[in-house]
Amino acid sequence: MQKIAVIDYGMGNLRSVSKALEHVADNAEVVVSSDASVIESADRVVCPGQGAARDCMAALQQTGLAQTVLDIAGTRPFLGICMGYQVLLTHSEENGGVDCLNIVPGEVTRFAEPLFDAGSRLKVPHMGWSEVRHVRDHALWSGIEDASRFYFAHSYYCVPQDDAAVAGSCHYGHEIAVAVTAPNLFACQFHPEKSAGDGLQLLKNFTNWDGR
């Protein structure tokens, strides 16, 4: 039986993520852990996260799990969710500027305020359901129609340096990269664990993904 580790660095929505994975992964043991050796022994790893960039990076560094993520990302199927996506980039503007893990080169920047679309003012944070467009084919989109709706809750968005890394986008005032991919890595701004059937399908796809 494969093991899926959900990284516990004190900043993630751990229960909902782990329960969603347990629901879809009948071929796996799901463990929530802050122990680097447990995480490193897993077949698949999920890095969730919520809160501010400075707090998330501080928690990763203080627990030693920043190095764990650097060591394992790219070595086995890895899924970053929400802040677990943002910390993979190079730098975030949040909290006056925070250096992140630089696994996916790029910047995290705040939505403009005021933010408009077609003359209507949009709320910041971007919170609620929005359509996600498949920018490129990917195994994690299997069984999910293009422009399906996923649940978001964020004030900052990612701008990857390499457009070829972008797997999914969403229009909120302008087009934003809400999913990126690299060998053995997929990360998304939205919350699949809160996104009903399509979110569960994405998580199920992750449990079967070979990382390519």
* Catalytic residue annotation: 82, 191, 193
Is-contact 172 45, C-beta < 8 A?
no
Q: H-helix or E-strand containing 14? A: helix 14-24
Structure tokens at 12: 């993630």
Paired strand residues for 98: 92
What's the length of the chain? 212
Longest pairwise C-alpha distance within the chain: 53
Task: Measure CA 129 to chain center.
Answer: 16
Burial class of residue 45 (count of CB atoms within 10 Å of its CB; 0-12, 13-18, 19+): buried
The tally of CA atoms less than 13 A away on the side-chain side of residue 28 is: 27
Paired strand residues for 170: 176
How far apart are the C-alpha atoms of 70 and 26, rounded to whole Å?
A: 28
Amino acid at 113: E
Task: Measure CA 74 to chain center.
Answer: 15
